[in-house]
Structure 1
Amino acid sequence: MLIISLPICAADPPEDDSPTETQTVDDSTSESYKVLFEESQNETAYYKEQYEELYENGSTNISNKYITNIKNELTIANEQITVLNQSITKLQSTINYLSIGIFFTFGITLIEFLYVLRMKINNGKQSNDDDSSK
């Protein structure tokens, strides 16, 4: 039985050189596909061009928008820096006045301390300078 089935399986199908309906349909559909492909290529090119124009214009608009936002933020930052500089100047002048006040307060306190010390050394007596001036 195997011997019989081998020649049947090994046999080639009959060759038919005549065109069939499938080949004719394939040719016409391939032509229509070619036309559709060319149309889609044209549409793709058109839409690509439109997209590029919109993207370029859009990116320019977006860039201008970001530049405007950055300029506004820089303006606000400059105003804040100006206010900060004014505050620093006021703080420096306050520190100067405080240091002068502290210096005078320390000086007066030192003079009072020395006067009290002198009084304790002299046991509450007036100094000789006061006696000699009389």
Structure 2
Amino acid sequence: MRLIGQAWVYRVGNSIVRVENAFAWIGWAQERLVINDETAKSAQGWFGAKRDFDEDWLTPTGEGVLKVRLVAGLMGIHCRVTLDDQGIEPEALEAAVWSGAKGEWPAPEVWEPAGDKRWHASPIPPNSHR
């Protein structure tokens, strides 16, 4: 199946956090949270409109929670990442297109800067409550 993917890349402390989403026009969607090149959470299914991931996170002041929210909208997929309810802006937006089975992800070198494909990989504004 042909999959269209987008990724939001964040720096949280000394860690690189990637939120990846992919979909096929037939209604399939898959998402994953990748921390320092290791998949921490993943989900997949048919016709999903929203996905939330929570990950315990050690902060300089103690334990915290990294929260990820992906929301499907009319013009694409939107992502919000917070650490203890403080919004984090992405450092980069990336896109990829590949053929694969459900749940498969492309090799790292397939991802490229989103450039003019940004319409489907946009962050949710930090103060939004979507």
Band of TM-score, shorter chain: under 0.3
For CA contacts below 8 A with separation 6 or more, give which structure has more relative contact order: 2
Higher fraction of strand = 2
Higher radius of gyration, 1 or 2: 1
Normalised to the residue count of structure 1, the TM-score between the two structures is: 0.13
Normalised to the residue count of structure 2, the TM-score between the two structures is: 0.13
